Structure 1
Amino acid sequence: MGFDVLYMPPIHPIGTSHRKGPNNTLTPAPGDPGSPWAIGAPEGGHDAIHPDLGELKDFRFFVKQAQANGIEVALDLALQASPDHPWVTSHPEWFTSRPDGSIAYAENPPKKYQDIYPVNFDNDPEGIRAEVLRIVEHWIAQGVRIFRVDNPHTKPLDFWEWLLGVIHERHPDVVFLAEAFTRPPMLQSLAQAGFQQSYTYFTWRNTKEELEEYLTELSRETSDFLRPNLFVNTPDILTEYLQFGGPAAYRIRAAIAATGSPTWGVYAGYELVENVARPGAEENIDNEKFEYKERDWAGAEERGESLAPYLARLNEIRREHPALQQLRNLTVHWSDDDAVLVYSKHLAAEHSPDATADTVIVVANVDPHSVRETEVHLDLEALGLPERFAVTDLLTGDVWTWGEHNYVRLDAFHNPVHLFSVSPLDKEDA
């Protein structure tokens, strides 16, 4: 599909105490793997590999094979422990004790994680810092250069400022991605503390008005310190828009994520339009947080049911157009329809790698249930464009002559998004 980073959830041994079954049930069956975020077992903790996956030498081979194919491996850094983690016996002071002497498990009401103990950074902060630094250095030594950090907002900011500062000094090419689904002040503070990338609220911004406002915020207001990674979904996030929007919604969200930010991502299964939610939750039913998940990727593609070719084309377009590799060059334009979003990415010739100006115009019908016809109005001065120019739809190959005001028709069921590249008109057309 053209992605160049493979992110893996925790690959460490999984605890058995209070192990969860499918869909977060408290009654696992024999053979259920438990949640990979319940890290730690007699086989080891954060510096160990689950024995079913292999040994350290196998992981190093895996990383080298990925690199040989132009792919970097990103690991999950989840600073928490199962009740069976070696830390629980060697450093019980690193956790929070209840009045009855038991250790408090993690809670994010209404969710309860009986199989996970959160680390208490107020207890022995120097010891915890030394251990986390050791773990990160261990995986860097195995070839890892990207860490996706689980729930960083539940850890102290001064800890992250210290850790990221030390790692940046020693390994300036290492990237930390904050899974900071929290309030704006904390999300932004984590970015200011040193996280090179951040998850955002993109998944919950779905209307034209919401997207106009949020894309402007990301590209202009917070761009000096917050570098967004527009993930379209996670196992925990299956919004109503995706649940009920069908394949059109999945195409629309992917196209906006791929063009709205220099960095974007999808979680496994997105290309198969997995859109059935667990009752009462905004997450996929039967997802691999608590069970083994088998997918028929090849079969779905043969049947024409996979979005993999579409995602691959989006990534091809991103590589072909340097304007899409920038953050601060986004301009919102106008349409007469409250469901047609219009924005552009423009890179002037003096900033382009090949000294040629690059402009991409995105026109998206964000209503996945409709056909929309409307007028689109462009700020030609902001784009440095003449009165008339050619636009080529990079998804279909269709070519039109455009100007300041233009008619569009977007059928959500067949072609919900135009991704236009801009070029001068041929002399005879001009």
Structure 2
Amino acid sequence: MSEPDWVQHAIWWHVYPLGFTGAYPDPGPGDHDLRRLIPWLDHVQRLGTNGVLLGPVFASDTHGYDTTDHLRIDPRLGDDAAFDDLVAAARERGLRIVLDGVFNHVGPDHPRLLAARADPGGPDAALFRHDDDGEIAVFEGHPGLHQLDHSRPEVRDHVVEVLCHWLDRGADGWRLDAAYTVPDEFWAEVLPRVRGRHPGAWFLGEVIHGEHDEIVAATTIDSLTQYELWKAIWSSLNDGNPHELAWALGRHDRFVAGGTVPQTFVGNHDVTRLATRLDDRRHLPLAVAVLCTVAGTPSVYAGDEFALTGLKEEREGGDDAVRPAFPADPGTLPDGADPDGLALHQELIGLRRRHPWLHAARTEVVEATDDRLVYLSRGDGDALRVTLDYGAGSWDVQPA
């Protein structure tokens, strides 16, 4: 297990800044810069989380994943001073910061891309992948996302520079967007170079599926997004099928046994919110109970602690409903907030923090019936027995 020691205690509050501050897609009047997050850091503490996993904050054309300058804060979110103020405010509260880096592709107005188009035979053109027809390749069919050529030394050097630049400025780690489509050998070369300068940095790779232990071994990425467990949690509850979750927990346990602790979640900026996804809202506490009682580095997507709703749709602007603007004052709850959801999260996150060994716990399913799942989580000589009653919509955690 290569991750830094501090990660054992990390529980993230995950936020998409461009949406949260109201900077995108339709900026209204007022200030949208990163300092608007500072008052919410007290909420992060009250929730029980101890770090902020930021979505994209770098210069881009639209949603943040079409980067135009990795070394500049998006002007819609302020500037370097705004970033520095946010980091300083987090440090004052003992909170860590992780940034979201898009290194698979760049946006259509990236200066090197514009230069490559202006001179297809020039040096900038060599920084990008090309299709068989000679056109610069795009990511998963998105015309505004142009893929870098990760075999090029210049690309590797640039990514090392970017990662270190923001770690130097106070970040604690990086989420590596679309890590699954970048060659393993790219990360295997880049990340050790960065760790040589920042040995305490943590790297989270976005993957959709696959063998976590094998991917970590090949890339040296510390942790990977656990989409398989995410899907099994809500699908199992909707279908009334504890056996599906039991199977996924067994696979999850195998990853942990292989020496890698995944990043766990029941919601993020790319998926329909849990309160919308679940057919029966009584099951929401069961999903959060799983998140907080199995191995992983958990994250709570901003607003899920209030049981906010939001449907992701496969269309232009289809992410907007799960990335809404939040009030500037955390004393004002977001529209549709459920205070009971906040109390539930505080209770279960508190339990998680009292048992830090859960980070790398081994999980054993001891009972799976048509409407009930019981599992044991063990570590450091301690154990918890977790009971999920699908029919009653209830959960229970007891020492074992």
TM-score, structure 2 normalization: 0.75
1:103–1:117: 8 Å Cα contact kept in structure 2? yes
Residue 3 of structure 1 pairs with residue 49 of structure 2: yes
Distance between the aligned counterparts of 1:89 and 1:113, measured in 2? Answer: 17
Q: Which is richer in helix?
A: 2
SS at match of 2:77: coil
Q: 1:241 touches 1:249 (CA, 8 Å); kept in 2? A: no
Which deviates further from its counterpart, 219-228 or 168-177?
219-228
Residue aligning to 2:164: 137
Is the aligned partner of 1:232 residue 2:266? Answer: yes
Matched-pair contact (CA < 8 Å) for 1:49–1:56: yes
Amino acid at match of 2:80: L
Distance in 1 between the 2:132 and 2:367 partners?
A: 60
- Superposed displacement of residue 56, structure 1: 1.3
* 3-state DSSP of counterpart to 1:294: coil
The secondary structure found in structure 1 opposite 2:333 is helix
Counterpart Cα distance in 2 of 1:117 and 1:126 = 18
Report how many residues are paired: 333
In 2, Cα distance between equivalents of 1:155 and 1:285: 24
CA distance in 2, matches of 1:303, 1:132: 39
- What's the counterpart of residue 248 of structure 2? 214
Farther-moved stretch of structure 1 (315-324 vs 172-181): 315-324
Give the partner amino acid of 1:56: D
Q: C-alpha separation between the residues in 2 aligned to 1:127 and 1:227?
A: 32
Among candidates 173, 198, 214, match of residue 189 of structure 1? 214
C-alpha change, 1:51 and 1:288, in structure 2 (3 Å) is: farther
Which structure 2 residues correspond to residues 153-302 of structure 1 after superposition, within 5 A? 153-182=180-209, 184-185=210-211, 187-192=212-217, 193-200=219-226, 201-206=228-233, 207=236, 208-220=242-254, 222-238=256-272, 243-279=277-313, 286-287=320-321, 293-294=325-326, 298-299=332-333
Q: Following the alignment from structure 1 to structure 2, what is the Cα–Cα distance between the partners of residues 236 and 188?
A: 24
- Answer yes or no: is the 8 Å Cα contact 1:178–1:190 preserved in 2: no
Q: Distance in 1 between matches of 2:318 and 2:175?
A: 21
SS in 2 for 1:46: strand
1:103 aligns with 2:136: yes
Pair 1:318-2:352 in alignment: yes
Q: CA deviation at 1:153?
A: 1.2
Post-superposition shift, 1:99?
Answer: 6.9
* Structure with higher RCO (Cα < 8 A, 6+ apart): 2
- Read off the aligned partner of 2:205 and give its amino acid letter: A
- TM-score, normalised with respect to structure 1: 0.70
Structure 2 distance, partners of 1:220, 1:72, is 29
Contact 1:247 1:273 in 2 (8 A): no
2:60 is the alignment partner of 1:14: yes
Asked whether the equivalents of residues 256 and 360 of structure 2 are also in contact (C-alpha less than 8 Å), the reply is no
Matched, 1:119 2:148: yes
Cα distance, 1:163 vs structure 2: 1.3
CA contact (8 A) 1:274 1:284 kept: no
Partners in 2 of 1:240 and 1:265 — Cα distance? 13
Residue identity over aligned pairs, in percent, reads 22
Q: Which whole-Å deviations, capped at 9, do the CAs of 1:383-418 have from their partners, x for residues lacking one?
A: xxxxxxxxxxxxxxxxxxxxxxxxxxxxx1xxx211
Evaluate the alpha carbon distance shift between residue 93 and residue 321 of structure 1 in structure 2; reply closer, same or farther with a 3 A threshold.
same
Structure showing greater radius of gyration is 1
Secondary structure in 2 aligned to 1:205? helix
Residues 104-146 of structure 1, C-alpha deviation per residue, up to 9 Å, x if partnerless? 3322xxxx42221121224xx1111111101011011111111
Looking at structure 1, the residues matched to 377 and 255 of structure 2 have their Cα atoms a distance apart, in angstroms, of 16
Residue 23 of structure 1 is matched in structure 2 by: none
CA distance in 2 between counterparts of 1:179 and 1:243 reads 21
Counterpart code for 2:321: N
Q: Deviations over 1:77-101 (max 9, x none)?
A: 1112111112214523222345776
Structure 1 unpaired stretches of 5+: 16-33, 352-356, 372-411, 423-430
Work out whether residues 333 and 344 of structure 1, in 8 Å CA contact, stay in contact via their aligned partners in 2.
yes
State the 4+ residue runs in structure 1 displaced beyond 6 angstroms.
Answer: none
